[in-house]
Amino acid sequence: MRYLTLLLASGAILSAQTTGALQGRVLDSKGTPVPGARVAVTGAGVQGERSTLTDASGSYRIGLLPPGVVTVTVTKESLNTAKAQVQVGLDKTATVELKMASVASAEVEVLGTSTVVDMKATTAGGNYTAESISKLNVSRDFANIALLAPGVTTEGSMPNGNQGMKIYGASGAENNYVVDGMNATNVEFGTQGKKIPMEFIQEFQVKTGGYEAEYGKALGGIINVITKSGGNDFAGDVFAYSEGGFLKTGNKHQNEGNLSQPLLLENKTTELGFDVGGPIIKDRLWYFIAFDRRTNKQTNLIRSADPTVDGLKAPTDSTRDLFALKLTWHPTEGQSFIASVVGDPEKITGAVVAPKGTQGTWDGERKIGGTDFSLRYEISGDKWFGQLQYSQHEETNSTLPGAGANDIKLVDNTLGGSESGGFGRWDDKKFTRNNITGSITAFLDFFGSHELKAGFDLQSDKADIHRSYTGGQQVTLLNDDGLGNADSKIYSHYWWTNAAGTLGFPYDPDPTSVFNAPSIVFASKPKHESRSFFLQDKWSPTARLNINLGVRVDNTDVKDQFGVTAFSLKNEYAPRLGFIYDFRGKGQDKVYGSFSRYYEQVPLDLVIRSFSVERNPTTYNYSGTGMAPNATAEAFLTAQAQAADPTAPPVVSTIVGSYVEPVDKNLKGSYSDEILIGAETTFDNLYIFGGKFIRRYLGRAIEDGLDVTSPLGDYFIMNPGQSSPAGVTYPQAIRDYKGFEFTAQRRLSDHYTWQVSYLWSELKGNYEGAFQGIGGADGTGQLDPNINAAFDLPEFIVNSYGLLSGDRKHQFKANGAYEWDFGLTLGANLVYQSGTPISRLGYHSGYGRYELFLLPRGTEGRTPDTTRLDVNLAYALKLTNKQRLRFVLEVTNLLDSQTTTVVDQRYDFTQGGPVNPNYKGGFYFQAPRSVRLGIRYSF
């Protein structure tokens, strides 16, 4: 509040955009500027009328316009009225030039011309209106609309149901999601943190690069969406959808793939919902209400080397309630209040983790989602406007046991990882994010025109975490000689213990030390407090040239569960420099370039795991339940590993973690730099062609490493390549992306529209990012932003440089739609992608995971290329009084391509052991063809 008071007093009030803008010039029939003309904007989303007067050069500009189609009307005494219709895009500046004829002219209204090329921005990405979205099959989750844009691909196989997408080489946990101006990014991991159905959306925007200083907290892209508002007319929809069941084709891979992967037998989704909006007071107070209940039923077939488990069926049922409420109040000309509520709570029962064993190992309950709300104030004057918003984002992400609540989970590595006993790890997690954001924009005239904008963002992220294992531990059977003796089977044990837990002598230096490491329920309530400020200027020194100058600074305090600051990331200055040149002077063609620095918003996962007394023992012995270490068992495992690989380290019981991990005193934030150069040109006011070069490279990363010199085996937080408080040298984190992108699109005219893109790219380095996606969840696939295992041990660095998992040499995308006069619409979306690199991963006995690169990264070939064609067929039956009945048929993967998307990259199951027989075999495949049926009644 202290910062807020100072900022308000100084007049500097930042927020993500929820509106668009309109600019242009008014000329007479001879092309001479018309000063003093009245420019008025009206439309379904505009409360009342917005107006301004043209200046001496005939120019005008109107901001804070809701996205949608508006009518621009220009009037002046002695001249005829001129009108134009234009689409105002979310966070876009539309340009409209209007010509006014003299009263003596036979014409009464002259239609102006507009452009879809934003002459004020260097931003890459795309905008998609509710109308355009309805004509394409883009799934029922709003974030997937971003996949229509070049450079955006799915981040498959993320753990625990997390979702994200790769944007120009950044991982799926490095984007920022904004809903109605609220930061709705997942608090713990930085993945997608909100679900919204298509019927709630007014406009969707994805910024893949080149974005302004007001946008931050992402190394990848910005997903920006605004939900619908009401209007002066009462209107709404009732809709229902059904997908799956008998509409889905069979899986071609029932007898293929790795045995540890369950096979999806059934996946059926049904939806029923409504949305309605209208006036409470015409032109003053509007409302919008929407609700959508989504239910899903799945059945998976468990495949396992254990004959007692192989073939069992695991059902999963879920119910998600999505809702939205918005009130828009326009008390006076130039002022608006917008209150918004968006919710997506979901409950899942049955197989809430990947089923690999008996029912007790996967049966449970998941609770995810939450409710967000915001209050926004907008105010505008003749040459300025401002915004101020308070918002709160809430998330629950709990996975709790059912039938196996009290039983120890046993993973049998002698049977390919077969599972039995209890549920294993459970988590009960709740998160809250609070933001106060705002911005003020002023239009100034000196040495050309300036659009000067300043703002702030005050944010607090909090967590309330509880986690443990059923039965107090997780046990893995590592070795079984089959003789049936007391020492035939060797087990490993893993659990959480307290700050004073010890393994006893000789593991602890004190010769009197005894084993005393009780199993506990790990609990933590840490938080982050961050402050962001920006200043930017869109300067037009001439009519053809725009220069964008901006800088953003972020500061974050990472605080442990006791409120003590573990470390601070200060003065993260991020410059944004760009230019746009109108090379034909018509407001429809540009060459542009930008340099941008982006800083990461560090998710809470790091402070939860590294500064909350998280201590995890791993012990080895001959008991399936007892946790005390046994030196003889360790010696046997060591001999076994070194017989296969003489360089293998000894197998020793340890406790890793501590109260507070050491942090380099010079620790600085993760950032990436981006260079973007491109051009766009328009032909016949209908076709837009573009090309660009993108270079994005990681400048610095935050990661942890194991202090191999410490008797406690502590980790430390560092910038790899720049600091090493433990005296261990780790190389710099490298991630380097290059791409050449070409686009073409046709605006909607004569009933049809289309757009195509081609992208060639290369992604190299030794660091995947916030999510390590190699080989999916069963490879190195680890979702622990800033504390992944990439730099944990020196041996993990060997052969680690090469082609990263997001490297796709070729991507081709095409989509379009055709409308017939009698109400039929056909839309299609085609995506072709080349395969991703394969690495030879080796098992590390100390970690129990596949963290070793046995050959240089990405040199073992590629996964197959994939092609997917989705279609949307809709028929709108006109009824009375603007009522419509719309029937929808959406076919996903029309060609039924079921190509392998992820392969098994595990070369062995034990360090130096025999080769995995399924190495390079299929793990995951494209989902079979599916049909979604829908019906919507609109009034």
Is a pLDDT exceeding 90 seen at residue 159?
no
785 alpha-carbon distance from chain centroid: 13
d(CA 477, CA 414): 7
DSSP states of 885-916: EEEEEEEESTT----EEEE--B-BSSTT-PBP
pLDDT on residue 255: 64
Pairing mode of beta strands 222-227, 176-179? parallel
Mean pLDDT of 253-260: 65
483: how many CB neighbours lie within 10 A of its CB? 9
Longest dimension (CA), the chain: 109
Q: What percent of the chain shows pLDDT beyond 90?
A: 62
Q: Which of 412, 430, 429, 413 is nearest to 421 (CA)?
A: 412
Q: Which of 409, 342, 408, 396 is nearest to 366 (CA)?
A: 396
3-class SS of residue 606: helix
d(CA 601, CA 532): 11
Answer for the pair 350, 403: CB distance below 8 angstroms, yes or no: no
Is a pLDDT exceeding 70 seen at residue 221?
yes
d(CA 797, CA 792): 9
Burial of 484 (0-12, 13-18, 19+ CB in 10 A): exposed
Using a cut of 0.85, tell me whether the model's pTM lies above it.
Answer: yes
Q: Which of 71, 77, 67, 63 is nearest to 98 (CA)?
A: 71
pLDDT on residue 736: 98
Answer for the pair 271, 240: CB distance below 8 angstroms, yes or no: yes
Instruction: Encode 331-348: b = buried (16+ Cβ within 10 Å), e = exposed.
Output: eeeeebebebbbbbbbeb
Residues 748-761: pLDDT tens digits? 889 999 999 999 99
Is a pLDDT exceeding 60 seen at residue 713?
no
281: how many CB neighbours lie within 10 A of its CB? 11
Is a pLDDT exceeding 80 seen at residue 499?
yes
Among the ranges given (197-211, 658-672, 771-785), the one the predictor scored with the smallest mean pLDDT: 771-785
Among the ranges given (96-105, 411-420, 507-516), the one the predictor scored with the smallest mean pLDDT: 96-105
Mean pLDDT of 728-751: 92
Mean pLDDT of 436-462: 95
Mean pLDDT of 434-459: 95
pLDDT on residue 724: 58
pLDDT on residue 6: 36
Q: What percent of the chain shows pLDDT beyond 70?
A: 93
Mean pLDDT of 323-334: 94
H/E stretch holding 3: helix 2-10
User: Higher-confidence residue: 360 or 648?
Assistant: 360
Residues 268-300: pLDDT tens digits? 999 999 999 999 999 999 999 999 999 999 998
pLDDT on residue 161: 80
d(CA 855, CA 935): 53
Residues 140-150: pLDDT tens digits? 888 889 999 99
Name the average pLDDT for the chain.
89
Among the ranges given (15-19, 683-687, 710-714), the one the predictor scored with the smallest mean pLDDT: 710-714
Mean pLDDT of 860-886: 94
Instruction: Encode 679-701: b = buried (16+ Cβ within 10 Å), e = exposed.
Output: ebbbeeeeebebebebbbbbbbb
Mean pLDDT of 375-393: 94
Is a pLDDT exceeding 80 seen at residue 802?
yes
Handedness of CA 190, 195, 201, 204 (dihedral sign): positive
d(CA 65, CA 19): 5
Rg value, the chain, Cα: 29
At 45, list the tokens.
């989303």
DSSP states of 449-502: EEEEEEEEEEEEEEEEEEEEEGGGSEEEEEEE-SS--TTSEEEEEE--B-TT-E
Is a pLDDT exceeding 50 seen at residue 414?
yes
Residues 51-107: pLDDT tens digits? 889 988 888 888 888 888 889 999 988 888 888 888 888 888 888 888 888 775 544
Residues 556-596: pLDDT tens digits? 999 998 889 999 999 999 999 999 999 998 888 999 999 99
Is a pLDDT exceeding 70 seen at residue 166?
yes
747 alpha-carbon distance from chain centroid: 28
Question: Of the ranges 360-369, 481-490, 726-735, which is most confident?
Answer: 360-369
pLDDT on residue 722: 76
At 519, list the tokens.
């199993």
Answer for the pair 188, 158: CB distance below 8 angstroms, yes or no: no
User: Higher-confidence residue: 617 or 644?
Assistant: 617
Mean pLDDT of 18-28: 87
